Amino acid sequence: MTATSAPERPVPLRVGLRRLSTGLLVYGGIGIALAIVGLLAMLYVGNRVTSLADSTGDRIETLVGTVEDTATVLKDAGSTALSFANTLERTPPTVRQAATTVENMRQTLLTIQSQLGQFQVLGSRPLGNVADQFGRIASDLEGLDTRLELIATDLEDNRDKLLDNARSLTALGERLDTVADDLASGFIQDSLDDVRLLLMVLVFVLVLWTALPAVGALILGLWLRRTLA
């Protein structure tokens, strides 16, 4: 009794399976190559983001120092303007008092001129020249009180403007202090770290998504080749 041999597979099926195995091997090779490229890209992007985070951190430290110095200068300028404004606040009353004094002095000089001019001895005016001197001094002082009053008004206007500038400079300095505190808190570096982690996770998932089917296809293709051999 002769042993019966197993029936041979149809030739078209063997050819189709061989082509399928070839396609699976090609697909698996391409998939693994893409996965390797994706892995290299992930490493490259991670290094670039790390370098960017480091350089950004150094620049932020420099920026924080600059902003803090600027805020200090602005607040000092505001304090100086406020101090000078306080000085100007005390100056106008003094100037107006001086204007009043000058006007009173001018009137007094005119009175002295009049009295000395009327003084006579034996029909002569021995103090006439002195009276004229007092008159000339009074003439020189004429209008000085008005100019002093205008100066006092201008000083008050300058005081108000300096007070506004002082408040603006101080407020700007405080806002810059807030900006410096926000920058120094490290939220930018933390954001870059989060971006780097997110990118690496996404690329890693994509690499796995590409690599797993490719490895499966490669294994299946090799198994078909061995089986068909």
- Please, which residues bridge with residue 121 across strands? 124
User: What does the pLDDT average to over 74-101?
Assistant: 82
> What's the mean pLDDT in 14-31?
78
pLDDT tens-place string over residues 156-176:
888 888 888 888 888 888 888
The least confident of 33-47, 58-72, 181-195 is 181-195
Q: How many residues does the chain have?
A: 229
**Percent of the chain residues past pLDDT 70, beyond the cut:** 89
pLDDT of residue 3: 46
Mean pLDDT of the chain: 78
Q: What is the pTM (predicted TM-score) of this model?
A: 0.51
> At residue 94, what is the residue type?
T
